Amino acid sequence: MIKLNYFCSFIKAYKNDKFEVFNNLGKKIIEIGQYEYAELGNRYLVVVAKGKKNAAYSTTRNLYTNWGVLDFNGEEVAYCGYSAVSIEMGEYILACQTIPIDDIYNGRELEDEDDRNYYNWVKNSENNYNFGLWEIINKEGDIIIDDIEGSEEDARMALDCYLKKSESDDTECDDISYSKYGGYNSWDDEAINEAFEGNPELTWNVD
C-alpha cells in the first residue's frame, strides 16, 4: 500500500517504509533509498539526510550525520555533508559543520575562570552540538556568507544583518557579538563577560 504526503510543491510517496519524492510537475527528485530522511516543509526546498546514527538519539537533528538541501528539481543546493541545516524565510539555508568544544580547545590549558566556565557550560549542554562554522546559502545554491563561527543564532543574526545591509549601507553588522556564548538568555558576549563574570549561568539570576 502506498501512502502519500503532500506539501506545497512536493509529494512524498511511502513504499514499504521507504520513500520517494516528486515535485508537483510529476518529476521524481528522490529515488527510493537515495536518502534516509526527507522533510517537505518549504515551497522551493527539501531538507534531506543520510548516515543514520544509533536510534538512541531521540531528536531528528541528532539522528542523522549528513544533512543537505535539494531544490525543486532535485539538485543539491547544499551538499549532503553538513552536521546541521535549517531553512530561513523560505529561501535561505543555514548550514553548519559542527566543531566539538574539545576540538576548539584541543587540549590547551583552561587559563582563567572565564575559560573554564565557558568550556563547562558548552560541554554540559546541547550547545556542544550547535557550535561550529556556518554558511548561508541561497535557494540557487550560492554561498552568500561563510565562516560564521558560533551558534545557529549567530548565523541567523548574520543573515538578518546581511538582508538589512542590502537595504541600507548604514547598517553596522559587527557591533554586537554572540559567538562566544551563543546569545545565552539573549545576552551578548560583552554583557556576560562584564556583568556576569563570563558565566552564562548567572544570567538566570536576572529578573
**Counted domains in the chain:** 1
Contact, 77 vs 49, CB < 8 A? no
Give the model confidence (pLDDT) of 6-46 as tens digits: 888 999 999 888 999 999 999 999 999 999 999 987 888 99
| 103 located within any domain | yes
Q: Let me know if residue 197 belongs to a domain.
A: no
The H helix count followed by the E strand count for the chain is: 5, 12
Residue 130 vs residue 158, higher pLDDT: 158
Whether residue 57 is contained in a domain is answered as yes
Please report whether residue 176 resides in a domain: no
Contact between 69 and 87 under an 8 Å Cβ cutoff? The reply is yes
How far apart CA 75 and CA 161 sit, in angstroms, is: 28
0.85 exceeded by the pTM? Answer: no
Per-residue buried b or exposed e for 134-164, using 16+ beta carbons within 10 Å of the residue's own CB: bbbbebeeeebbeebebbbbbbbbbbebeee
**Residue 71 maps to a domain:** yes
Residue 109's domain comprises 3-169
Please give the full DSSP string across 32-46, using - where no structure is assigned: TTS-SEEEE--SS-E
Predicted pLDDT of residue 25: 93
pLDDT of residue 205: 65
Establish if 193 belongs to a structural domain. no
In a domain, 119, yes or no: yes
User: Which of residues 44 and 117 earns the better pLDDT score?
Assistant: 44
pLDDT classification of 117: cutoffs 50, 70, 90:
confident
Residue 49 belongs to a domain: yes
Q: Give the Å distances, CA to CA, from 177 to 64, 99, 119.
A: 30, 19, 18
